[in-house]
Structure 1
Amino acid sequence: MDLDFTPEQQAFRADIRAWVAANLPEDIAHKVHNGLRQSRDDMQRWARILGSKGWLGYGWPKEFGGPGWDAIQRHLFEEECALAGAPRIVPFGPVMVAPVIMAFGSPEQQKKFLPGIASGDVWWSQGYSEPGSGSDLASVKTRAIREGDKYIVNGQKTWTTLGQYGEWIFCLVRTTTEGKPQTGISFLLIDMKSPGVTVRPIVLMDGEAEVNEVFFDNVEVPIENLVGQENQGWTYAKYLLAHERTNIADVNRAKRELERLKRIAAAEGVYDDPRFRDQIALLEVDIVALEMMVLRVLSAQAGGKKALDVAGLLKIRGSEIQQRYTELLMLAGGPFSLPFIEDAMEAGWQGDYVGAAHCAPLAANYLNTRKTTIYGGSNEVQRNIVAQTILGV
């Protein structure tokens, strides 16, 4: 196993770094580096910049309009974007539903949906979780009944991240109640502008409405929006979740936030406290260990070997690390870790408040990451999966 990058890979990294430095808007990078609120325009502006270069679908093969990069090139691209302060790519379109459409969709679906995802022009949402159906996705109850050349969809999805911006949503729906729960699920692509679709924001503890409830009331969905075969959606859902859980690990964002933690700790005078610095060191060791796990997988793929099925393990460690660094950021800011009040942040008044503007977003960041060990399959469930698939117990 060779974890060193080749000269060619280092040259690739340098090219990516130079391009990102030349094309990433400074105002967006400032927000990312300082944990400030990113608007829909911020996220989609960067997505369109990447799309114009053909890099929004950076994990896509050339046959579908992607760059055709290998696993190591994709990792280097992600790392350089994160360290430069680029917003995290909203994954629902390019990282999650696009691979499903490529693998299981019809040629007509690929032609219809992939260009809008690749360009960053179409915003996708995910319709998986329901009230009472979170980690146990096989229990979804949203029904899709076929009537002629269309499905009639009724039900509710919840915790739909950024669903208030969604233009299309991919949904798990129940098309039959016969047999095992997993065998009655189908994968539908639904236009969120359809009559009967209602989006209701859920205001969280940090004051933001990042997640939403989505209601379907007799929504008509053309039969051609069914991906793959009816009642085979569970297979497609598992395929998609492997992409989601690997994405949640986000080791490159953790490396960027580690540097932010060090800056804030130094600014607040706690970096010289040996006990606090010990906690930073422990966090850094865990981030390096997570990166080594990612590199082991990349090395196996580059060598043509079968990589370990560690998506769940990456999700567990990555989400726990995210919670750790937001906790330490809160501790570093101390009493100046103010709640995220959007109007006040926009007015800039925290900048005149004992010089602690960099502490203003910390409470919101902390509160928001409490969810990371739950979404994408709770860590408790993931530990059971890891025990069965990797440890064989």
Structure 2
Amino acid sequence: MDLAMKAEDVAFRDEVRAFLKENLTDELKAHARLTPGILSDQDLRVEWTKILHKRGWSAPSWPKEHGGPGWNVMQRFIWASECAAAGAPHGSNMGLAMVGPTLMGHGTPEQRAKYLPAILSGDDWWCQGYSEPGSGSDLASLQCRADSDGDDYIINGTKLWTTGAHQSNKMFLLVRTDPNAPKKQEGISFLLIDDFQAKGIKVDPIITLAGDHEVNQVFFDDVRVPKANRVGAENNGWTVAKYLLEFERGGAAHGANLRNSLNKLKVMAAAERSDNGEKLSDDPAFARKIAETDVEVTAVEYTEHRIMSQLSNGQNPGAAASMIKLRGSDTNQKITELGMEAIAYYAEPHVLEARNWGSNVPPVGPDHALMVMPKYLNTRAQTIFGGSNEVQRGIMAKAVLGL
């Protein structure tokens, strides 16, 4: 794949930069900067999605026939890189990144016509019902049941670590429709819940180590879901789920975000001082760590390019999605650890109130130190969610090495 910038690529890059300069407000950038994870203020997420939708850019990876811009690999790379550099909010709508592509691959024409337009416009926001107590990384051991009742399923059980459930109006989830299936991967179906505020659904917040409300536990008590909301055949949800996970693990623009984070770390290192009073960036030991991390970021970027090329050619990323998820999360954790090392004792005070937009509570230490601790704490979960590192290594060992 040729990654050199052609004249049309430069023109597109300039178009993107002009769009971001005109539409990315100081408030949107501030909220993005003050968000340690992927879940920013909901009103601003909706605002940014609708701005993008008006331009036809809300779903960078979607083909034109489904309402996307139909961008090629280079255009998507340019878009992700420029958004990261400009400080745009994360595109954290699971409808755009996961449900949409899954419906394109496994949904019926009726399901695509019903759900895709509202995902594009930002009118619908989706959350993911996968993990459960006792079946996180071992997803196939899930116990949340969906019992058949005429044209409906009746759901009972619970889902855990449900990102954005408190901000969503719809959910996609895996349920057990045949508890007597001989293998645990069998007997699972993939369902869509249209009304996430329906009777029998309860959302309990979980506050993270960083002090943020991103995840939740969701309880289902005799919740009715039409069988028309099943994606794929009954008891074949594991196949649909694996298809979706390839997009979750492989389509997150890891390289652009990592490169942006590393650049910020370099600026921070130039502003901080080492034990001898010189710039931390001039300290040989710390400079070596940054150089090593730079190599790792570059490796992630090139791996991501390969995945993007596969997707653009209609192929699934397969085991490469596990590779990028593992290396991307490991490298991001390493960058946040170096950030903690760089700000030294300023990592100790964690002033949550100073992270609120418009707050008059001052941070302790320099401005660049404010989000270092929250991001460090938030990224501890990256090697777990979306499939733990151990699971990713197992997938690669089986699919690539044949072990």
1:203 equivalenced with 2:228 (yes/no): no
1:268 paired residue number: 272
| 1:116 to partner: Cα distance | 1.0
Residues 261, 329 of structure 1: 8 Å contact kept: yes
| 1:301 to partner: Cα distance | 6.7
Residues 330, 363 of structure 1: 8 Å contact kept: yes
1:22 paired residue number: 22
- Does 159-168 or 27-36 show the bigger shift? 27-36
Q: CA 1:231–1:311 in 2, change beyond 3 Å: closer, same or farther?
A: same
Query: Structure 1: how far apart are the matches of 2:311 and 2:161?
Result: 34
Cα-to-partner distance string for 1:57-77 (whole Å, 9 max, x where unaligned): 221111111111223322221
- Does 195-204 or 7-16 show the bigger shift? 7-16
Q: CA 1:303–1:381 in 2, change beyond 3 Å: closer, same or farther?
A: closer
1:227-266 alignment runs, 5 A limit:
227-248=231-252, 250-266=254-270
Query: Structure 1: how far apart are the matches of 2:262 and 2:115?
Result: 37
Q: For 2:235, what is the secondary structure of its paired residue?
A: coil
1:134 equivalenced with 2:146 (yes/no): no
2:362 paired residue number: 350
Query: Structure 2: how far apart are the matches of 1:135 and 1:331?
Result: 31
| 1:258 to partner: Cα distance | 1.0
Residues 186, 238 of structure 2: 8 Å contact kept: yes
1:85 paired residue number: 87
Query: Structure 1: how far apart are the matches of 2:261 and 2:28?
Result: 16
Cα-to-partner distance string for 1:73-127 (whole Å, 9 max, x where unaligned): 2222111111111111014110101111122222222122111100112111000
Q: CA 1:339–1:371 in 2, change beyond 3 Å: closer, same or farther?
A: farther
Query: Structure 2: how far apart are the matches of 1:297 and 1:214?
Result: 33
TM-score by length of 2: 0.91
Residues 250, 317 of structure 2: 8 Å contact kept: no
Cα-to-partner distance string for 1:150-181 (whole Å, 9 max, x where unaligned): 11000000011121111101000011122322
Please tell me the residue identity of whatever aligns with 1:183: E
Cα RMSD (Å) of the superposition? 2.2
| 1:266 to partner: Cα distance | 2.1
Identity of aligned residues (%): 46
Query: Structure 1: how far apart are the matches of 2:117 and 2:77?
Result: 23
Query: Structure 1: how far apart are the matches of 2:95 and 2:62?
Result: 12
Q: For 1:186, what is the secondary structure of its paired residue?
A: strand
- Does 265-274 or 323-332 show the bigger shift? 265-274
1:5 paired residue number: 5
Q: CA 1:240–1:339 in 2, change beyond 3 Å: closer, same or farther?
A: farther
| 1:340 to partner: Cα distance | 4.2
Cα-to-partner distance string for 1:176-207 (whole Å, 9 max, x where unaligned): 12232222111111121110000001112111
5+ long unaligned stretches in structure 2: 274-279
- Does 134-143 or 272-281 show the bigger shift? 272-281
2:276 paired residue number: none
Residues 158, 214 of structure 1: 8 Å contact kept: yes
Residues 62, 68 of structure 1: 8 Å contact kept: yes
1:128-207 alignment runs, 5 A limit:
128-177=130-179, 178-190=181-193, 191-207=195-211
Residues 249, 325 of structure 2: 8 Å contact kept: yes
Please tell me the residue identity of whatever aligns with 2:120: A
Please tell me the residue identity of whatever aligns with 1:20: L
| 1:11 to partner: Cα distance | 2.2
Residues 3, 296 of structure 1: 8 Å contact kept: no
Query: Structure 2: how far apart are the matches of 1:301 and 1:193?
Result: 34
Cα-to-partner distance string for 1:279-329 (whole Å, 9 max, x where unaligned): 111111111121122234445677899977411110111000110111111
| 1:2 to partner: Cα distance | 3.1
1:372 equivalenced with 2:382 (yes/no): yes
1:293 paired residue number: 303
| 1:248 to partner: Cα distance | 4.6
- Does 73-82 or 360-369 show the bigger shift? 73-82
Residues 338, 360 of structure 1: 8 Å contact kept: no
Q: Identify which of 54, 57, 75 aligns with 2:56.
A: 54
Please tell me the residue identity of whatever aligns with 2:171: I
TM-score by length of 1: 0.93
Q: CA 1:21–1:61 in 2, change beyond 3 Å: closer, same or farther?
A: same
Please tell me the residue identity of whatever aligns with 1:230: E
Residues 250, 318 of structure 1: 8 Å contact kept: yes
1:323-362 alignment runs, 5 A limit:
323-346=333-356, 347-351=359-363, 353=364, 355-362=365-372
